Amino acid sequence: MDYPTFLLLLSFILSIIYVLTVSGRNDSRLPPGPYRFPVIGNLLDLGHEPHRSLATLSKRYGPLMSLKLGSRTTIVVSSPDIAKEFFHTHDRVFSSRSVPETARVIDHHKFSMVWLPAEDHWRRLRRITKEYMFSAQRLDASEGLREKKIRELVRHIDRCCTSGKVVNVGAVAFTTTLNILSNYMFSMDFAQYDSVSSQEFKETVWALMEVSGKPNLVDFFPILKRLDPQGLVSRVTIYGKKLLTNFDRIIDQRLQRRSSSSSPVGVSSANDDVLELLLNLNLKDESKFSRNDMMHLFLALFIAGTDTISSTLEWAMTELIRNPEKMETARSEILKLTQNDDKNIQESCIAQFPFLQAIIKETLRLHPPAPFLIPHEAIHEAEVQGFTVPKNAQILCNVWAMGRNPTVWSNPETFMPERFLNVEIDYKGQDFKLIPFGAGRRICPGLNFAHRMLHIMLGSLIQNFDWELEGNASPQDIDMGEKFGITLQRNIPLVAIPIKL
């Protein structure tokens, strides 16, 4: 039975049981929206590509729109001006999270900075993340690590050139990002490019993201929670526990090494990776930063950090292969600075590559990694644009629709990096035309890490290789279909032939 048919059947059954209607006392004060069916509300309006479906509906009902998704009132934001009202003017009111059922398994929502309400515990984790992981000082100090892993990526692709192998761009980007994170956190690789036996962690992360990204009927109808009709909660539990067990084992190994070391407790004899620093913090005061806090922080960072970066890079490479003149412009820009010294692109040089920066911005405009960001929730009832946003309403910000709005962007469907040249637009949360990482107090804490990673990884792939498709296929024939989930991935992975320059 397909998903729409199941919903219709469920609507009929629940209608008989509850004889519910969708109109309530406050509906007239809600933002406009499409007609709501009994029980299921607007679930059938979502389709298989909700970001596109809601973008189409917003053209009819406006950039501030209300839906009823099962039992959940949902407000959809689709313009920069209204996004600014929600995440700047009324940032505190809408700073809570709409927690999906899959985030509640293994108590992740109780420890994860992603899902916690913006209160004391969340602020403490946010401060720890900034100080010990993503501060400019910490990122500068770890630049050599990222350069080393990028060189490994280049050597792997170089071997593919020699052997005539094609490259799955998203997969190698994922492995590179995963190993950079695992070395930054734990001083170890989690995966190898050519080793099947080392892919277990990577496959578990991928599986967890795929399952978590599927629409879950339990989120729309909490009465079905015990039934878990799609089996999503049980599968997420398996994958989540597997990852937490890995982190738990790594922590135990590090503690054992510290206890057997001749160095004083809290002093690393080898390095000061993130785990070492966090263990010092944990031992200092476990009541403020527990082992559970640590493990769930690692879980959130690996899930959020790997796929968003690798999928964005895959989209960027796809657009450049389809627009070879843009790739050549970027390559010329990079080679002007690097060829005389025979060196790879460095993070300190990013500011000197305006066209490369423009490519990243344009990719994030057309292909934001999280098309609805992470859903917010209203802490209490509020008024926006003369309409009522009820307490506990879910807030979806359709950044995908905002990036393709013809009133904001000229030729919005066209890949034009040059639109970002000589203009003051960035994605750091101040310009609401482009907020792929969110804005306000809930902006992605790893934004600066992603910024560095995307530029040096994409720059290295452009600098060292040209790229073509298998079988002399035309770049314009590349399937640009999207697979909706936690991140907006390509429906068909980009596989290309690297050519050594």
pLDDT category at 341 given cuts 50, 70, 90 is low
Q: Is the pLDDT of residue 197 over 60?
A: no
Please count the structural domains in the chain.
1
Q: Which uninterrupted H or E stretch holds 121?
A: helix 120-129
Q: Which domain covers residue 399, as residue numbers? A: 3-500
- pLDDT value of residue 10: 59
Question: What does the DSSP assignment read for 21-88?
Answer: -S--TTGGGSPP----BTTTBTHHHH-S-HHHHHHHHHHHH-SEEEEEETTEEEEEE-SHHHHHIIII
| Angstrom distance (rounded) from CA 47 to CA 368 | 19
Which residues have CB under 8 Å from 345's CB, separation 6+?
334, 338, 353, 455, 456, 459, 460, 463
Are 31 and 25 a contacting pair, CB within 8 Å? Answer: no
Q: Which phi and psi (to 5°) does residue 226 adopt? A: -70, -25
Which CATH number belongs to the domain containing residue 447 in this structure?
Answer: 1.10.630.10
User: In terms of pTM, does the model score above 0.85?
Assistant: yes
Pairing of strands 382-384, 394-397: unpaired
Which residues have CB under 8 Å from 16's CB, separation 6+?
none
Question: Residue 174's closest CA among 459, 491, 457?
Answer: 457
Residue-wise pLDDT tens digits, 79-124: 999 999 999 999 999 999 999 999 999 999 999 999 999 999 999 9
Q: Is the pLDDT of residue 266 over 50?
A: no
Helix (H, G, I), strand (E, B) or coil at 150: helix
Residue-wise pLDDT tens digits, 464-494: 999 999 888 899 989 999 988 778 889 999 9
- pLDDT value of residue 205: 85
Which of 192-206, 397-411, 439-453 is predicted with the least confidence, judged by mean pLDDT?
A: 192-206
Residue environment code for 215-253, b if the CB has 16+ CB neighbours within 10 A, otherwise e: bbbbbbbeebeeebebebbebbeebbeebbebbbebbee
| Angstrom distance (rounded) from CA 174 to CA 44 | 33
| Angstrom distance (rounded) from CA 393 to CA 375 | 10
Residue-wise pLDDT tens digits, 433-472: 999 999 999 999 999 999 999 999 999 999 999 999 988 8
Residue whose pair of structure tokens reads 């926006």 in the numeric block: 384
| Angstrom distance (rounded) from CA 177 to CA 89 | 35
Which residues have CB under 8 Å from 399's CB, separation 6+?
368, 370, 371, 372, 373, 435, 436
The tokens describing 297, both together, are 């922080």
